[in-house]
Amino acid sequence: MTCGEVRERLGGYVAGALEAEERVAVDRHVASCGACRSERAAFMRVESALEGLAPRRRGLGAWIGTAAAVLVVAVVIAAVRPSPPPALADECAVRPDAGAQWRVVAPRTVRLDAGAAFFDVRGPFTVVTPRGRVEVQGTSFRVEVDMGRGAAVGAGAVIVTVAVVTGAVIFRQDGRDTTVRAGERLKAGPETVEKATIPSAEELSRLERDLADARARIAALEKENAELRAPKVDVPKPAPELAKLLEEFDGFADNALDHFQTAAVRDLIKKLKEAGPAAVEEMARRLLEGRTTGERFLAGWILEALHDPAAVPALSTSLKNERDDLVRRMSGHALAMIGSKDGLPALREAMSSDSDWGVRVNTAYGAAAMGDEAGVKMLAQQYESKDTPSAYRMAVLQAMAMVGSPTYAPTFRQVLATSRDMTALLMSIGGLEKIKDALAIPDLERVAIGDYPDTVKEAAAKAVKNIRE
Select the more confidently predicted residue: 356 or 205: 356
Position 220 scores a pLDDT of: 66
Which band of pLDDT confidence, cut at 50, 70 and 90, is reported for residue 415?
very high
- CATH number of the domain to which 253 belongs: 1.25.10.10
Q: What is the per-residue pLDDT across 253-273, written as a single tens digit (0 to 9) for each?
A: 877 777 767 888 889 999 999
Position 309 scores a pLDDT of: 94
Q: SS3 breakdown of the chain: % helix, strand, coil, rounded to 5?
A: 55, 15, 30
pTM of the model: 0.51
CA–CA distance, 364 with 188 (Å, rounded to integer): 34
Q: What residues contact residue 132 under an 8 Å CB cut-off, 6+ apart? A: 160, 171, 172, 173, 174, 188
Position 155 scores a pLDDT of: 41
Position 425 scores a pLDDT of: 92
Which band of pLDDT confidence, cut at 50, 70 and 90, is reported for residue 288?
very high
**What single letter denotes the amino acid at residue 116?**
A
Rg (CA), the chain: 27
Average pLDDT over residues 454-460: 91
Average pLDDT over residues 84-113: 73
- CATH number of the domain to which 84 belongs: 2.60.120.1440
Cα 206 from chain centroid (whole Å): 19
What's the farthest any 2 CA atoms get from each other in the chain?
Answer: 89
267 in a domain, yes or no?
yes
Q: How high is the mean pLDDT of the chain?
A: 76
Position 121 scores a pLDDT of: 67
Quick one: CA dihedral 367, 369, 370, 376, positive or negative?
A: positive
458 in a domain, yes or no?
yes
CA–CA distance, 301 with 95 (Å, rounded to integer): 38
Q: What residues contact residue 427 under an 8 Å CB cut-off, 6+ apart? A: 394, 397, 398, 400, 401, 415
Position 443 scores a pLDDT of: 93
Q: What angle do CA 107, 109, 110 make, to 5 degrees?
A: 110
- 46 and 162 in a single domain? The answer is no
Most trustworthy range by pLDDT among 49-58, 135-144, 173-182, 342-351: 342-351
395 in a domain, yes or no?
no
DSSP annotation of 240: H
- 323 and 215 in a single domain? The answer is yes
How many separate domains does the chain show? 4
- 77 and 176 in a single domain? The answer is yes
Name the residue range of residue 281's domain: 203-388
Residue 168 backbone dihedrals phi, psi, to 5 degrees: -160, 155
CA–CA distance, 19 with 133 (Å, rounded to integer): 10
pLDDT surpassing 90 at residue 340: yes
380 in a domain, yes or no?
yes
pLDDT surpassing 80 at residue 395: yes
- 409 and 279 in a single domain? The answer is no
3-state class (DSSP) for residue 404: coil
Position 3 scores a pLDDT of: 72
- 187 and 142 in a single domain? The answer is yes
- 449 and 322 in a single domain? The answer is no
3-state class (DSSP) for residue 193: strand
Position 316 scores a pLDDT of: 95
- 241 and 132 in a single domain? The answer is no
Position 198 scores a pLDDT of: 60
278 in a domain, yes or no?
yes
pLDDT surpassing 60 at residue 62: no
Position 370 scores a pLDDT of: 92
Select the more confidently predicted residue: 237 or 360: 360
- 191 and 82 in a single domain? The answer is yes
CA-wise closest residue to 429 among 391, 400, 395, 393: 400
Cα 181 from chain centroid (whole Å): 20
394 in a domain, yes or no?
no
Q: What is the per-residue pLDDT across 189-239, written as a single tens digit (0 to 9) for each?
A: 766 777 766 666 665 566 566 666 666 666 666 666 665 655 555 556 778
130 in a domain, yes or no?
yes
Select the more confidently predicted residue: 455 or 20: 455
Give the C-alpha distances (Å, rounded to integers) separating 407 from 12, 185, 341, 359, 442. 53, 31, 22, 22, 19
58 in a domain, yes or no?
no
